[in-house]
Amino acid sequence: MGLLFGGLWIGQNINLLPLGASANAPIYDELFKVLLTIGTILFLGMVVLVVYSLIRFRRRPGQTGDGAAIEGNLSLEILWTAIPAIVVLFVGLYSYDIYERMGGMQPLNHHANDASSHEHFNSGNGRIWGGIGSSSLATPQQSAAIPIDVTAMQFAFLFHYPKGDFISGELHLPKNQPVTLRMESKDVIHAFWVPEFRLKQDVIPGQPTILNFTPTKTGRYPIICAELCGPYHGGMRSTVVVEGAEEYQDWLLSNTKVSTSEK
């Protein structure tokens, strides 16, 4: 019983994750806490059994023979087969539920119409392949998602803003505003990963992907390529800046003016 309560306390009170800065983060963190609780209980249980065995079955002074050969315990074999099977089944079903709540089970053609205005995002069969779609997490008061085109290449991310028609090397987003990233790769497979958003999505050449989310905390967060993409993969990073609505509009307007003057 102490083992169970100890694992529950550690899983619920020790936070090993970075700051959660998106609407997806609390949902993902639920799964992490459950996995940490299960892992802690298993780890502590194994440590207790190993320490007990080292003490209980140690060789006593004067003992020279082998220990007793014990085998054929059917009840024990059923127990150590049934417990992992139940744990794995539970984790699988719970993970599926979390993925569905984060929007990952939306039909693949859910985003096709949204991207139809961007010709370079239309695949051969007219479908956009999905990732996490958090539109189900958006509140009715929030307006339509902001579309941003993301291009990954060795070794950088570029962000095209259809509203303003300019490209930035840094991703700027308004707080509490749903965002739709339409992503494509120019060369090899990359991965768009923001740990604070609890989101990761492959960016695949010839197969556009979608990532929907809502940032909820202002700040600067790293964008990391999480897929080995070449010799400078470790340096393929960028930054996402989450700011207030007014600051975002000012940034958008200033870049739109610069883009217009250059043309």
DSSP 8-state assignment for residue 212: E
On whether residue 65 sits in a domain, the answer given is no
- Residue 55: count other Cβ atoms within 10 Å of its Cβ: 8
Identify the domain containing residue 39 by its residue range.
Answer: 2-56+77-101
257 with 135, same domain: the answer is yes
Q: Do 120 and 237 fall into the same domain? A: yes
Q: Please classify residue 154 by burial: count the beta carbons closer than 10 Å to its beta carbon, then call 0-12 exposed, 13-18 middle and 19+ buried.
A: middle
> What is the DSSP code string of 121-139?
G--TTS--B----GGGGS-
Whether residue 127 is found in the same domain as residue 252: yes
pLDDT of residue 1: 75
The predicted structure's pLDDT at residue 241: 96
Domain annotation covers residue 81: yes
On whether both 50 and 144 belong to a single domain, the answer is: no
DSSP one-letter code for 239: E
Residues 44, 118, single domain; the answer is no
Identify whether residues 224 and 138 lie together within a single domain. Answer: yes
Question: Same structural domain for residues 41 and 128?
Answer: no
Spell out the per-residue pLDDT of the chain, length 263, in tens: 787 888 888 888 888 899 999 998 999 999 999 999 999 998 998 999 999 999 988 888 888 887 777 788 888 899 989 999 999 999 999 998 888 887 765 554 444 444 444 444 444 444 445 556 544 444 444 458 899 999 999 999 999 999 888 999 999 999 999 999 999 999 999 999 999 999 999 999 988 888 889 999 999 999 999 999 999 999 999 999 999 999 999 999 998 866 666 66
Residue closest to 85 by CA, chosen among 97, 93, 73: 93
Residue 195 lies in a domain: yes
CATH of the domain at 140: 2.60.40.420
Classify residue 62: in a domain, yes or no. Answer: no
Structural domain total, the chain: 2
Residues 9 and 123 in one domain: no
Among all chains, which residue has been given the structure tokens 């010709």? 119
Q: Are residues 94 and 34 in the same domain?
A: yes
Q: What's the confidence (pLDDT) of residue 188?
A: 95
Same domain flag for 192 and 232: yes
pLDDT for res 186: 93
Q: Are residues 199 and 97 in the same domain?
A: no
The helix or strand, by DSSP H or E, that contains position 39, with its residue range, turns out to be helix 25-56
* Domain end residue (candidates: 36, 68, 101): 101
Give domain status of residue 68, yes or no: no
Identify whether 42 is part of a domain. Answer: yes
One domain, residues 157 and 82: no
**Are 178 and 138 in contact, with CB atoms under 8 Å apart?**
yes
> Is there a contact between 182 and 116 (Cβ–Cβ < 8 Å)?
no
